[in-house]
Amino acid sequence: MPTPTSVPDVLPAAVLWDMDGTLIDTEPYWMAAETELVEAHGGTWRHEDALALIGSELLSSAEVLRARGVDLPAEQIVDFLIDRVADEVRREVPWQPGAFELLTDLADAGVPCALVTMSYRRLADVLVAAAPAGVFGAVVAGDDVTHGKPHPEAYLTAARQLGVDVRTCVAVEDSPTGIASALASQARTIGVETMLPVAPEPGLSRVTSLADLGVGDLARIAHGSVLDLIGPARPAG
């Protein structure tokens, strides 16, 4: 993992972080909870079905599960999923490689951070409590916004809460839905290819791991550089 040897002269105004799949590897937890719920109602839930929900607003995901036979109100489905995932995260936070270290480096450098997630606040709070002390100056969760990702509301709200111009921030995402949200907000955006392919787009930086990033990289991206460590020849699947 890259460790900065000095603080860059011009730091990002803030770094805005997606949570599930980006900072923590919770997607298998969500998939397991979805599978449990669908199968309990007599249905079948495939891996491909679960992949299609990554990054989605939770009530929208609940309606997909209802359409697959889960005979519960959408709000009750969301509560079930969040409770299952939160229980797993409380047992052990599944940090993505390099995530905790990069958050620590940003805190040490005095760079404000926000958590921007479509998970609800009671799950986001579990992550915040496990993160480096004081690193998150704002949290925008799925139950805080009117429009979920891919709408830019969550990222715009996070920048406003931090008192910074979103165009001077770096947003870090792992899903097509989240990347679309971040780009629509006009934040400088990094796509981390964890579970889903990250397709090239103009202005989008791409990496395969947060362990490939340092504070200096984030500073350069914030000020207009595009970092692509995947490249156009990488297979899509």
Quick: pLDDT tens for 28-46: 998 999 999 999 999 889 9
pLDDT on residue 3: 45
pLDDT on residue 218: 97
CA angle 234, 236, 237 (to 5 degrees): 115
CA distance linking residue 116 with residue 55, whole number of Å: 11
pLDDT at 208 over 70: yes
Q: pTM for this one?
A: 0.85
Residues 6+ apart with CB under 8 A from 147: 153
CA angle 15, 88, 72 (to 5 degrees): 100
* Mean pLDDT, range 50-78, rounded to an integer: 91
